[in-house]
């Protein structure tokens, strides 16, 4: 057997073009393709396996959906994971995909290199290579798209010239990435920030105009920061996410059109569909606001932001991430209760919340109750802002 390369294989344009490139330009006789199922459409997985067969690779499809939902999406809920308005759907999956590729590589008698289809402009090159180098540091990594500086149009022409089966064309050139936590669409005319995305790019969400005309109220139950039931029906993470993607998507919830700052500094236009993620993060934040102190919420907002930035960068095994999770998980011990949301025409609005850990007392907060003796506040109000008042007086006196 000749040289062996393990290709992290999505079945899309970039990774499919990599297969003949690895043989023709890099001299690999044995190409092993690994597709990791993190919630892609069944037909996409079947297409990837069929393309791999046509192109003569040794192909593996690894089902990692339950693991992704439990060990990646649920920690993201606890951390209110959000990068500039993006719920980190693609970023969350990349470390797991790379980890599974390593598991396949370790099962083979010989591996001379890893390969992936990431370009030199995107974030995934950092995410995937970090995990590969961390888990198998002695195996070199090849990135044909980056190394050959190929454009998407050049890839399409290369594939056509060699009879490589692809779906892309110069008219529908956008790139789509999909997993349980979200769906991203980019490329083509979508790269123009002024171009309104065509309705045909959306698959998970109805437009607000076509969404249900009647609102729907749902009840989400959380235990220690993790959603465990919908409308009283217990669900495992995988089933819960899949159900919410369908339900919230039918109400048009989860469309995101944003300008995103990539890791290398490029500002790009991105379109996302994340119905379950948007719904769960909205509910989780509402429950935290009920049970956490002001200082906890303020500090956790910083911890959440730092956690999201590490995940966006693909640094899943960074010690700082572990340290942040120690604090986040401690706070989550009290984030248990129920949240009610109204799904309607593209919005998921919180309309109620309850918890045994609620730091809220109706009698203390009410203007029509005397449990809280307001007269006792006189001294506190007099002392409020004393240093600032003294500073202002000195400033007036000395004209500073």
CA distance 67 to 72: 7
Domain 181-354: top CATH class: alpha beta
Per-residue pLDDT of the chain in tens (400 residues, 90 and over written 9): 689 999 999 998 889 999 999 999 999 999 999 999 999 999 999 999 999 999 999 999 999 999 999 999 999 999 999 999 999 999 999 999 999 999 999 999 999 999 999 999 889 999 999 999 999 999 999 999 999 998 888 888 888 888 788 775 555 566 889 999 999 998 888 889 999 999 999 999 999 999 999 999 999 999 999 999 999 999 999 999 999 999 999 999 999 999 999 999 999 999 999 999 999 999 999 999 999 999 999 999 999 999 999 999 999 999 999 999 999 999 999 999 999 999 999 999 999 999 999 998 877 766 667 777 888 889 899 999 999 999 999 999 998 6
Whole-Å CA distances, 346 to 221, 273, 279, 296: 22, 11, 11, 31
| Fold equal for 4-177 and 181-354 | no
Structural domain boundaries in the chain: 4-177, 181-354
Strand partners, 272: 184, 256
CATH number listed for the domain at residues 4-177: 3.40.50.620
Annotated catalytic residue, options 51, 94, 152, 255: 94
pTM attached to this predicted model: 0.92
Active site residue 65: no
Active site residue 124: yes
Active site residue 231: no
Identify whether the C-beta of residue 124 lies closer than 8 Å to the C-beta of residue 94.
yes
Annotated catalytic residue, options 37, 47, 124, 177: 124
């Amino acid at each position: 057997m000749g040289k062996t390369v393990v290709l992290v294989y999505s079945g899309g344009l970039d990774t499919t073009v990599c297969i003949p490139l690895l043989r023709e330009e890099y001299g690999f006789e044995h190409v092993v393709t690994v597709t990791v199922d993190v919630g892609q459409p069944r037909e996409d997985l079947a297409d990837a396996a069929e393309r791999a067969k046509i192109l003569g690779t040794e192909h593996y499809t690894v089902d990692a959906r339950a693991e992704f939902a439990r060990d990646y999406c649920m920690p993201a809920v606890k951390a209110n994971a959000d990068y500039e308005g993006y719920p980190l759907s693609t970023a969350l999956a990349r470390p797991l995909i790379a980890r599974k590729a390593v598991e396949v590589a370790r099962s083979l008698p010989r591996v001379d290199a890893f390969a992936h289809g990431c370009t030199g402009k995107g974030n995934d090159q950092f995410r995937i290579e970090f995990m590969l180098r961390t888990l198998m540091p002695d195996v070199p990594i090849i990135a044909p798209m980056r190394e050959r500086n190929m454009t998407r149009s050049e890839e399409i022409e290369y594939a056509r010239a060699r009879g490589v089966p692809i779906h892309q064309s110069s008219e529908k050139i956008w790139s789509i990435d999909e997993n349980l936590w979200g769906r991203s669409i980019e490329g083509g005319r979508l790269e123009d920030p002024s171009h309104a995305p065509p309705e045909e790019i959306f698959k998970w969400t109805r437009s607000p105009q076509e969404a249900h005309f009647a609102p729907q109220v749902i009840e989400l139950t959380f235990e220690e920061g993790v959603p465990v039931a919908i409308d009283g029906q217990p669900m495992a993470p995988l089933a819960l996410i899949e159900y919410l993607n369908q339900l919230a998507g039918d109400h048009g919830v989860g469309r995101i059109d944003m300008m995103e700052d990539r890791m290398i500094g490029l500002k790009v236009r991105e379109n996302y569909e994340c119905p379950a993620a948007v719904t769960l993060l909205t509910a989780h934040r509402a429950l935290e606001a009920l049970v956490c102190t002001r200082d906890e919420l303020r500090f956790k907002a910083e911890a959440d932001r730092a956690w999201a930035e590490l995940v966006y960068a693909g640094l899943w095994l960074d010690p700082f991430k572990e340290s942040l999770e120690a604090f986040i998980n401690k706070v989550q011990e009290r984030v248990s209760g129920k949240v009610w949301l109204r799904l309607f025409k593209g919005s998921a609005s919180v309309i109620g919340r309850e918890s045994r850990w609620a730091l809220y007392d109706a009698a203390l907060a009410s203007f029509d109750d005397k449990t809280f003796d307001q007269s006792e506040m006189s001294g506190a109000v007099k002392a409020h802002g004393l240093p600032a008042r003294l500073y202002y007086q000195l400033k007036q006196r000395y004209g500073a």
